[in-house]
């Protein structure tokens, strides 16, 4: 079942490795079929070198395995919370990419310093609050999703399609699994540029709002004119 | 038409990727045929992996598409301003390379700290002023070109063949499309070395004027003696 | 003799190069057969490009060569001390990997700042004290092992399977030679992330104990639920 | 003539590229035949991709071209001064490698912080003084050699086989062209580690003299016991 989506999710997981976002098994990508209410996700801790598209696991929206010989990623509950709360998402990614983790560990938002950032993220990429000991003990992965959703209260999650979870690392999402990977790669690259900028000049100010607006809306929304058509991921 | 120039521009775009200056579609190279008054430029947002030399777009000096099935790069008006103002340029490059963007975001010139820099750039690589909200709203890409030209008022643009646009990223140019790419690669490398130097020793002074002179004129101009002939890009 | 272990040790040494932990001959991996009381280790200073599994050297627990045409790694006495003191280790690795050496030279523990670290190391990765002049003169490599063991007095070496030796570099260990290499790679990656975190925000605090507990025990021990089975290296 | 040495020098130049020390034509290696009093060196500004061993240029000790269709590297006079002053050298290398240049631009010696450094360089790798305007105008490349020799007055150049020339970049040497490249690679790697160490902990002290002694003499000289024989480069 869901052969096409399994292949997309598999390809997106492999692309994450090819783009240098993941070593060993330190990442996972999922995709959703919203009509059927099913999510396809990478199995937990399986080696990328031997994994095939048929190893992808199908779960329902409560995380029950519907098909698959492997256990799904241990981060599955986090993915499900994101799909439920952000209805436009078609794919979700989690990585431990170096610069995303750097900001997560430092407990800092990734500031919007320039147009590279603004082309894909309409404002700072936020860092969540700490999870409490109780939240971690009771339902760690579920509450990781909840704290992400809480961080986006009142905001459009498709305008800033990523977050760094405090002391943990980045999650990103998109309209497709491939789009989610694209956003995860951009998140790490703009985090690297922001790290460089802040260590070079700690007093650097954020990009002006009107330049942020210009670049974001040059690529996204009704008046976009970059590319040959829609550039939304 | 312009088959040879299209091939040169295509090769220069691909070299930008091979040199690690670009991920995804984050860069563009153009070349000019000054006799015909036509510019060949990369199409907007087309994947490098599938792009061919025949996908290059031909525009006139007002940016009208003369030939090509794709829309030209959205940065085309910036390229055209540079060609009009700097008559010796044969190629123009725009990237979001990591260290060029770092200085653009920090709002700092890339200081001439050593001979690696001096071999190609005769002095600091300047950072432009901020564009105003009005300049961005009225004609963003055109005014990006204008602020570059303004930054070089009274200076020789072939002696310092590159710039970082505030909060945005580098533009570089050269006598050919390949030469422009060469200068874009050097810009990022000397920016990396300058970043390292400034974070290691914030009180570092610029290279002495006589060493700057020696290295620049060892490679450029009538008395050059480096290489087997002209090294000018 | 010990053909299987020689192959494992050879593969682990080659993987160290493939993972970018080693240039030239700057690293070594060993493995132990605890029943026979024999250790297989890389020969000293032999080029990785021409080395074969049959070049691995077999030594007894006093470091006497039992089989092999080459001299064993000069660090063999350090490996032997680790095997004797930490009875669960099946493999030991030494590298001069860039970020591990950075902390060794700075004389700092690698702080546990996040879940990437906590997934494999249950707390800070310690930096040893200085060796004394006498310790170095009398038995340098042996005393390097001794100062590592001293650093872990009262601690579980399998919970923090690595160390940085002051002014020198990292040693890591694991249940197998491959597991030791895995831990050496993780040590360098979390050291890189910690370096970035500390230079970005010098006031960063360590990860909370309850998040450290959660991530470590999600992967290790009786209640582990990450992966398809045991993830212990 | 000198076919074997030409091949060695060619291979050493190509290895410099393979090891990531050089982009474009930013480096050169030479080798000497001391019996014949002839030096073989890379031609100036020739593309590595098309260069063959037969393109190497033979010069005498005054820099006159004895054989070769190309002009020799413009740095040839610097190489010759080093060969004349340091009689044990068989190969000389110049690069603009990133971390070597970082220290050259910052005007700082590369401090001996650890055993990675001590294994190859017996003490700090010095940064030369500034050349004067007169020295640059009169005989730039010759005086670059002279200031290197001056920096090593009273020191053994084979114990510290490299230097960074102020505001310029590294030179390294060795007993063979391949050995010189090895030392140039080590210089850049220990410079990177030193950069990291100093930015992480600006108050870091140098390695203790007795550990420096131990590691250096473990690999070099009459009592060396690392490797299968001599490790001297």
Hey, how many other C-beta atoms are within 10 angstroms of the C-beta on C29? 31
% residues pLDDT > 90 (chain A): 91
The interface residues of chain D toward chain B in range 42-81, judged by CB-CB distance below 8 A, are: 43-46, 70-71, 74
* Closest residue, chain A, to C193 (C-alpha): A102
DSSP B205: P
Residue recorded with tokens 């200031």? D147
Q: Which CATH superfamily is domain A3-219 in?
A: Class II aldolase/adducin N-terminal domain (3.40.225.10)
Q: Which residues of A touch C230 (CB under 8 A)?
A: none
Say if D26 is an interface residue toward chain B (CB within 8 Å). Answer: yes
Domain ranges of chain A: 3-219
Question: In the beta sheet, which residues pair with residue A27?
Answer: A95
Instruction: Give me the percent of chain C exceeding a pLDDT of 70.
Output: 98
What CA–CA distance (Å, rounded) separates B117 from B227? 17
Measure the CA angle with vertex C116, ends C112 and C120; round to 5°: 80
Name the nearest CA neighbour of C57 among C14, C18, C10. Answer: C10
* Count of residues in chain A: 233
Q: How far is C174 from chain D (nearest CA, A)?
A: 24
Across the range C28-35, mean pLDDT stands at 98
How many contacts does A have with B, using Cβ atoms within 8 A? 81
Measured CA distances, D156 to A97, A182, D85, D121, D153 (Å): 45, 54, 11, 11, 8
Residue among A159, A124, A128, A126 at smallest CA distance from A145: A128
Residues 145-184 of D with CB under 8 A from B: 167-169
Cβ pair B106:A228 closer than 8 A: no
Q: How far is C98 from chain D (nearest CA, A)?
A: 6
C200 contacts in chain A (CB < 8 Å): 102-103, 106, 108, 195, 198-199
Question: Looking at CA atoms only, how far is residue B54 from chain D in angstroms?
Answer: 27
Q: Is C119 a catalytic residue?
A: yes
Q: Which of B136, B152, B12, B25 is nearest to B82 (CA)?
A: B152
Whether D212 and D112 have beta carbons less than 8 Å apart is answered as yes
Would you say residue A231 has pLDDT above 80? no
Which residues, 6+ apart, have CB-to-CB distance to C221 below 8 Å?
none
Largest CA distance in chain D: 54
- Chain centre distance of CA A191: 14
Q: Active-site residue among B15, B75, B119, B188?
A: B119
Place of tokens 């004067």: D132
Q: Flag the least confident range among A108-122, A167-181, B218-232, C41-55.
A: B218-232
pLDDT surpasses 60 at A184: yes
Q: Which residue of A has its CA nearest to B27?
A: A116
Is D226 marked active-site? yes
The answer to whether D197 contacts C105, with C-beta atoms less than 8 Å apart, is yes
Q: With contacts defined as CB-CB under 8 Å, which chain C residues touch D120? A: none
**Closest residue on chain C to A97 (Cα):** C193
Question: Is a pLDDT exceeding 70 seen at residue C229?
Answer: no
Around Cβ A144, how many Cβ atoms within 10 Å?
25
Sheet order of strands, A169-174 included: A65-67, A57-60, A38-41, A27-33, A91-95, A169-174, A162-165
The per-residue pLDDT for C222 is: 84
Q: Is A143 helix (H, G, I), strand (E, B) or coil?
A: helix
In sequence order, the 6+-apart residues with CB closer than 8 A to the CB of B45 are: A226, A227, A228, A231, B25
Q: Which candidate, A39, A73, A45, places its Cα nearest to that of A58?
A: A39
* B-chain residue closest to A229, CA distance: B45
d(CA B49, CA B45): 12
Residue A104's H or E segment, with its range, is helix A98-106
> C71: nearest CA in chain D?
D228
Q: Is the ipTM of this complex over 0.90?
A: yes
Please answer whether residues B219 and D36 qualify as being in contact, where contact means their C-beta atoms are separated by less than 8 angstroms.
no
Chain B residues within an 8 Å CB radius of D25: 227
Q: Tell me the average pLDDT of chain C.
A: 96
Q: Residues A88-116: pLDDT tens digits?
A: 999 999 999 999 999 999 999 999 999 99
Describe the crossing of helices A177-200 and A3-18 by its angle, rounded to 10 degrees: 20
pLDDT at D222: 85
Evaluate if residue A181 carries a pLDDT over 70.
yes
A120 C-beta neighbours (distance < 10 Å), count: 28
Give yes or no for D228 touching C (CB within 8 A): yes
CA distance A130 to C70: 54
Chain B residues touching residue A193 (CB < 8 angstroms): 98, 101-102, 105
Choosing from D83, D119, D120, D188, the catalytic residue is D119
- Per-residue pLDDT, averaged over C23-48, amounts to 95
Q: CA-to-CA distance for D175 and D92, rounded, in angstroms?
A: 9
In this prediction, residue D230 carries a pLDDT of 54
pLDDT of residue C69: 94
Name the nearest CA neighbour of C90 among C56, C55, C40. Answer: C40
| CA-wise closest residue to B170 among B198, B197, B196, B151 | B151
Contact B56, B43 (CB under 8 A): yes
Averaged pLDDT for residues C154-165: 97
Residues in chain B with pLDDT < 70? 229-232
Residues of chain D with pLDDT under 50: none
Test A185 with B99 for CB contact under 8 angstroms. no
Are the Cβ atoms of B70 and A231 closer than 8 angstroms?
Answer: no
CB contact under 8 A, D133 and B189: no
* Average predicted confidence (pLDDT) for chain A: 96
For B135-166, give the DSSP string.
HHHHHHHHHHHHHHHHHTTTS-TTTS-EEEET
Residue of D63, D101, D110, D130 for testing the chain B interface, max B β-carbons within 10 Å: D101
Q: What is the mean pLDDT of residues C113-122?
A: 97
């Amino acid at each position: 079942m869901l052969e096409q989506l399994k292949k997309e999710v598999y390809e997106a997981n492999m692309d994450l490795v090819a783009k240098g976002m993941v070593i060993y098994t330190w990442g996972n990508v999922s995709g959703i079929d919203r009509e059927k209410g099913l999510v396809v996700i990478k199995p937990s801790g399986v080696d990328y070198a031997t994994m095939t598209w048929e190893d992808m696991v199908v779960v329902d929206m409560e995380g029950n395995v519907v098909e698959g010989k492997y256990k799904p990623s241990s981060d599955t509950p986090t993915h499900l919370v994101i799909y439920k709360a952000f209805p436009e998402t078609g794919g979700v990614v989690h990585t431990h990419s170096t610069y995303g983790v750097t900001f997560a560990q430092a407990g800092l938002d990734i500031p919007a310093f320039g147009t590279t950032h603004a082309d894909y993220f309409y404002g700072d990429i936020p860092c969540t609050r700490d999870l409490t000991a109780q939240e971690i003990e009771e339902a760690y992965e579920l509450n990781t999703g909840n704290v992400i959703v809480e961080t986006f209260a009142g905001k459009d999650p498709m305008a800033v399609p990523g977050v760094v979870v405090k002391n943990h690392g980045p999650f990103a999402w998109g309209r497709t699994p491939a789009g989610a990977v694209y956003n995860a790669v951009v998140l790490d690259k703009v985090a690297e540029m922001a790290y460089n900028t802040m260590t070079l000049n700690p007093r650097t100010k954020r990009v002006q709002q009107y330049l942020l607006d210009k670049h974001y809306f040059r690529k996204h929304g009704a008046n976009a004119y970059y590319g040959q058509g829609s550039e939304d991921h």
